Structure 1
Amino acid sequence: MKPSRTEIGRLAGALSCVLMLATPNAAIAQGVELSDRSSDAEAAPFLLIPLGARNIGFGGAIAGARGDVEGVLWNPASIAGIDEWAVFYHGSNDFGTSTNAAGGVFGLGTTRVGVSILALDLGTIDGRDEFNQPIGNIEIDNTAFVLTVARAISESIEVGASYKFLRISGSCPGCGGDEPDATGYAIDAAVIARPPGTDRIRLGLVVSNLGPDLGFSADGQENALPSRIRLGGEAELLRGSEARPVDLLVRADVRNVLTEFDGLDVFAGIEVGYADLAFLRAGYASGGEGRTGPTLGVGFRYNGLVVDLGRTFDDFSDFDSDSPFQVSVAYQP
């Protein structure tokens, strides 16, 4: 079946909106400042930490994911596929940090609205002066409050956007001087489209962490947010039936720094499901910042309750970790 001109026009319009946000000149014209400075000096890097136990099992591939309540954190268009409402909790601990996220999605007519919070505690770091003498304990907390809106604009195209209010706060009793504190915002935008003639393939485009530079009030120095562009997809290779209750799902994404385009991060994974009750996942992530390595995951689903475990095998996963697993619990009737 050939796509109609209306369908093509809607898809082109959705892609144009996302790409307009992704284009530095267009973003600056809208008051969103993007920096061409190196990604080595980015602010709020906690926004890049892989989250969501199911997504971790897929190696971190999320661009084509549909109906995932944790999409409020990574892919706002994905919550357009949630039928009624959903709530979730996510917890993880790696590299000496504690990450917690919770939220929910509800419907307003044909629109889905998500509200969530992400909190990352970096723990306690020994503060030292220029003579390497201890001056106190440094504690840094990162928090993002996220509002997400998504909807289907046709039978095969879904769009979404998130507004994230960011707060990075620090304390160091005994250090003297002003304590570091920064607030700002970031915007995500995404579109998911199903190619004409099939309901087993979904393609996605996600632009994340657009916004002005973020700086600490203590020193006034500002750095760019970790803006990224991601393209990927999801394909159902097998769909379960009564005679053969086995599903096979694959995902793959590529991601790049929005203003540099000097090296791709690659994420890919596969999921085998049995009777829509139990799931086994394996993936691989090839990214920067020590986030390269295989991933594994398992999941269980029963009467709307979903429990997922994810495990990364990278430079961060075993360092000072109380538990190397990510845990996600959701209820989605």
Structure 2
Amino acid sequence: MKYKILLFLFIFPLFLNAQALRNYSNEFLTIGVDAAALGMSKSVVATTNDVNAIYWNPAGLVGIEDYQGSLMHASYFAGIANYNHVGFAMPIDKESAIGISIIRFGVDDILNTTELIDSDGNIDFNRIRLFSSVDYAFNMAYARNLIFKDLKFGVNAKIVRRIIGDFASSWGFGFDAGIQFERNDWKFGVMVRDITTTFNSWAIDEDEFNKIKDAIPGQNQDLPETTEITKPKLQLGVARNWRVGRFLNLLTEVDLNVRFAKTNDIFSSEAASIDPAAGFQLDYDDLVYLRAGVGNFQYITEFDNSKSLSMQPNFGVGFKYNGIKIDYALTNIGSVGNALYSNIFSITFDYTFFRR
């Protein structure tokens, strides 16, 4: 209970600050989907080729041959927050494919204590209400081959719905676009998220806002701005397949994640910041998979103003049989705190097997 009270105290001020900055929003969309990809530290922009390409690089949807579906679940912060994804994709013809997916990131049953004390100054626990802070993303993707077979293009239109109890809600809309190119055993990928910028428009309940605006004297006295803009982000990837034995294959990929702002990334300037990531996947006859990766290189400022470099390692395993692929990833969600790791599970269905 105390964690959910604290979470509420953090969520609303962060919401207000995000409104004022108007630079980045919808950060839940940077978490990623599919345990297989997360086990490789999200280094899949050049190689993604199944239903989960809706998120990673819609150009990869051209690689599917029949109906595909995927499900994923993850819990964060000791189970307080739940992250879920469901996707479906299908080919239109030999040259193109479409897909849809839904992402939900939510914290449910948060205690609203804004009316805990009545007008006479008495504490009344019956006045506590529960609410949820939930983010949704609805994605619709289209992909096709361009000019020649080895060049693929994809675009993803997304509708974003964010709800903070009765306090505020928003609608957003944006586009992602990606390209994949393959030559021999080499693969290349480019993904631009929020290519046109993603715009969120908030509606704020003034009555609910008035109940909390005096919670911190001198702070949050005015209604926050009601628009957010998500700037474009660029991802570049290069990958290669290696045959290391009769039944063993090794897939390696290196990605560069670029934000057009100064951040704490390992390479940073006023114009752009670059965060590298690398991952590998070793499979036995396309049946059993072992994955690992490292990414999210960040400089952390310590209390004595010195800087240290942190990174996030990831590990994953998978198994595919009869058109069903089950994946697990152990991912590092932070370098500090008591809950450093999260367990990610996903399952992918490929209807191609059942048509045989």
Structure 2 length-normalised TM: 0.72
SS at 1:264's partner residue?
strand
CA contact (8 A) 1:63 1:205 kept: yes
CA–CA distance in structure 1, aligned partners of residues 202 and 109 of structure 2? 19
CA–CA distance in structure 1, aligned partners of residues 144 and 51 of structure 2? 14
Matches within 5 A, 1:231-242: 231-238=236-243
SS at 1:84's partner residue?
coil
Deviations 1:172-193 (A, max 9, x none): 5xxxxxx211001121100001
Task: Compute the displacement of 1:226 (Å).
Answer: 5.0
Task: Compute the displacement of 1:49 (Å).
Answer: 1.0
Deviations 1:113-149 (A, max 9, x none): 10111111133444566x9999754421111111100
| Gap runs ≥5 in structure 1 | 1-36, 173-178
Matches within 5 A, 1:1-333: 41-95=23-77, 96-109=80-93, 110-127=95-112, 136-153=129-146, 154-172=148-166, 179-195=167-183, 198=184, 200-210=185-195, 211-218=197-204, 219-225=224-230, 227-238=232-243, 244-258=246-260, 261-287=271-297, 292-315=311-334, 324-332=342-350, 333=352
CA–CA distance in structure 2, aligned partners of residues 225 and 126 of structure 1? 29
Task: Compute the displacement of 1:85 (Å).
Answer: 2.2
Larger Rg over CA atoms = 2
One-letter amino acid of the counterpart of residue 154, structure 2: G
Task: Compute the displacement of 1:84 (Å).
Answer: 2.0
CA–CA distance in structure 1, aligned partners of residues 336 and 328 of structure 2? 14
Task: Summarize the Cα distance change of 1:288–1:165 in structure 2 as closer, same or farther, 3 Å threshold.
Answer: farther
CA–CA distance in structure 2, aligned partners of residues 319 and 90 of structure 1? 24
Task: Compute the displacement of 1:314 (Å).
Answer: 3.3
Deviations 1:14-54 (A, max 9, x none): xxxxxxxxxxxxxxxxxxxxxxx998952211111132101
Compare 98-107 and 223-232 and name the one that shifted more: 223-232
CA–CA distance in structure 1, aligned partners of residues 109 and 272 of structure 2? 34
CA contact (8 A) 2:261 2:273 kept: no
Quick one: higher RCO (CA 8 Å, sep 6+), 1 or 2?
Answer: 1
Compare 229-238 and 251-260 and name the one that shifted more: 251-260
SS at 1:213's partner residue?
strand
Q: What percentage of aligned pairs have identical amino acids?
A: 22
One-letter amino acid of the counterpart of residue 328, structure 2: L
CA–CA distance in structure 1, aligned partners of residues 339 and 284 of structure 2? 35
Task: Summarize the Cα distance change of 1:318–1:82 in structure 2 as closer, same or farther, 3 Å threshold.
Answer: farther
CA contact (8 A) 1:39 1:226 kept: no
One-letter amino acid of the counterpart of residue 142, structure 1: D
Task: Compute the displacement of 1:217 (Å).
Answer: 1.0
| Gap runs ≥5 in structure 2 | 1-18, 118-122, 205-223, 263-270, 301-309
Aligned-CA RMSD value: 3.1
CA contact (8 A) 2:22 2:228 kept: no
Deviations 1:220-266 (A, max 9, x none): 432221531000122102266xxx10011101100111466432111
CA contact (8 A) 1:48 1:226 kept: no
